[in-house]
Amino acid sequence: MFQLEQEGYSAAHSLLRDLSQVHVAVSAVLDGTIAGDVWIDHFEEPRVALLSNGDAYYLAGSPDQAAGSFAALNNLIPQWAYLFVEDRWADRLRDVWSNPFALPHPRVRLGLRRPHLIGASDALPDGFRLAPIDHALLALNPGNLDTLTDLMDGWSSPELFLEKAVGFCVLHEGCIVSHCATDSVSGQRCELGVGTEPAYRRRGLARIAAAATVAECVRRGVSKIEWHTHASNKGSIAIARACGLTELDRHIAYSGNLPAENVGDLDLATCRDWGLHLEKASEHIGWYRFHAAGAWTLAGERSRALTNLSQLVEGGWEGEAEWLEGYWAVQSLVDDPKFQAIVARQRAAGGD
């Protein structure tokens, strides 16, 4: 596999066309708007293309004509990747990926079919205000500024983000407590993402930020708005629908992570099934214990979750202590002295 420079990305366009029609991020990487890497198997008549953007990887082409590239793909696609593939690759993943324990993640893509039917926005509660994500907001230097800098990190440059991105934050007592912004932009297309600080959820703040962002995207002519989420994420889907978006299609990703982002997205039986699977996987790939702990926490089995976390740290895990503290699935454990002792051991081991 050969890594392309930005000026050579056109060589991969035809192979990545189908994936780019579903994923704005693929088009945005090829445009050079957001950061990413692109590989092809041959400079003349390529048969396989791989694109990465953060932890997301996208694989396209013909596996029947690419046996000679399987080893190279195996080296390029990390075990922790969040992998999207064309359907023809679904039964060939073990040939090109060193993670045989990844499972399908059902996902939903929603879009704004009729810009004139944008959902109305509610009023913010007293003490909250809405602010566009722009230079003026940065100049305020609000609390939780890393919310914005994290968004910028995925773009080719902060300047390009501030030029092309569209988004709004909800501020409370000088801090960013909720936001919605374009994760990627390509021409008239964009994909939105939302986030709210845990203490401020279930107040409708993300819906208000999202409605403002959708309206501003339409005003700027970026009206082909898309929204991707786990099929399990009822809250995210509800926000998208409240903003006038409707379901476009469903697709699959492959990952070792839990197929959810919020407590309550998965039922107890599903959490237990994932816990069993992830524990078994951890015998071969140690960091799976991180996700096994999340599954057992969600299944209500605190002791088993803590055992997995202890074994994770004792096994020489190279992750950061803050990842444990911030992992959404184990938040019910953070006040437990046993959990705190595990975090302290990881921090003392150099996992800052």
- Determine the longest span between alpha carbons in the chain, in angstroms: 62
Give the other-Cβ count within 10 Å of 116's Cβ: 7
Last residue in a domain, options 75, 101, 127:
101
Rounded Cα distance, 339 and 37, in Å: 38
Examine the domain organization and report whether 220 and 311 are in the same domain: no
Span 274-326, pLDDT tens digits: 999 999 999 999 999 999 999 999 999 999 999 999 999 999 999 999 999 99
Span 131-182, pLDDT tens digits: 999 999 999 999 989 988 998 998 999 999 999 999 999 999 999 999 999 9
CA-nearest of 132, 190, 130, 157 to 34 is 157
267: its two tokens: 């039922």
Q: For residue 220, what is the domain's CATH number?
A: 3.40.630.30
Examine the domain organization and report whether 137 and 192 are in the same domain: yes
3-state secondary structure 279-343: HHHHCCCCCHHHHHHHHHHHCCCHHHHHHHHHHHHHCCCCCCHHHHHHCHHHHHHCCCHHHHHHH
Q: For residue 93, what is the domain's CATH number?
A: 3.40.630
**119 located within any domain:** yes
Q: Coil, helix or strand for 115?
A: helix
Report the number of distinct structural domains present in the chain.
3
Examine the domain organization and report whether 190 and 130 are in the same domain: yes
Tell the residue number behind the tokens 């059902």, with chain if given. 106
Examine the domain organization and report whether 96 and 132 are in the same domain: no
Q: What is the pTM of this model?
A: 0.94
Examine the domain organization and report whether 48 and 90 are in the same domain: yes
Helix then strand then coil, % of the chain, to nearest 5: 45, 25, 30
Examine the domain organization and report whether 38 and 160 are in the same domain: no
Domain that holds residue 204: 111-253
Examine the domain organization and report whether 138 and 236 are in the same domain: yes
**106 located within any domain:** no
Examine the domain organization and report whether 85 and 139 are in the same domain: no
Last residue in a domain, options 101, 136, 168:
101
Residue ranges of the chain with pLDDT lower than 70? 115-121, 351-352
Q: Coil, helix or strand for 221?
A: coil
Rounded Cα distance, 158 and 187, in Å: 18
Examine the domain organization and report whether 203 and 284 are in the same domain: no
Examine the domain organization and report whether 116 and 80 are in the same domain: no
